[in-house]
């Protein structure tokens, strides 16, 4: 079973739990049509955004070039690091 089929099965099972009278085959066919337009890639919890730290530093560098004060840059860095910690959880 590929990832698309796994996601489809999980979605149909969840919908069946929420709506016991749902037409399973009809729902599965419609979801399959929607999911067929997407590439599905499983992401491990530790690798949610592996380059997030690099992007934060790039953002800070760009803002420094724009002439923002060091206090503003420090605040941006602090806020973005808090954000990164939350996203990784």
Span 10-44, pLDDT tens digits: 999 999 999 999 999 999 999 999 988 988 877 76
Residue 61: give the domain boundaries: 48-88
**What is the chain's mean pLDDT, rounded?**
88
Any domain includes 58: yes
27 and 55 share one domain: no
pTM beyond 0.75, yes or no: no
Report, as an integer, the average pLDDT of 50-71: 94
Any domain includes 43: no
Those residues with Cβ within 8 angstroms of residue 64's Cβ, 6 or more apart along the chain or in another chain: 73
Any domain includes 16: yes
Count the domains in the chain.
2
30 and 59 share one domain: no
Any domain includes 41: no
The runs of H, that is alpha helices, within the chain are 3-18, 24-35, 52-65, 70-88
Residue 77 burial (10 A CB sphere; 0-12, 13-18, 19+):
middle
């Amino acid at each position: 079973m590929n990832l698309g089929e796994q996601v489809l099965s999980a979605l149909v099972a969840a919908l069946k739990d929420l709506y016991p009278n749902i037409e399973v085959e009809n729902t599965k066919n419609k979801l399959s049509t929607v999911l067929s337009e997407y590439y599905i890639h499983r992401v491990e919890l530790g690798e949610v955004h592996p380059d997030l730290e690099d992007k934060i530093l790039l953002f800070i560098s760009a803002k420094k070039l724009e002439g923002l004060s060091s206090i503003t840059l420090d605040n941006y860095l602090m806020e973005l690091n808090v954000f990164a910690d939350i996203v990784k959880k």
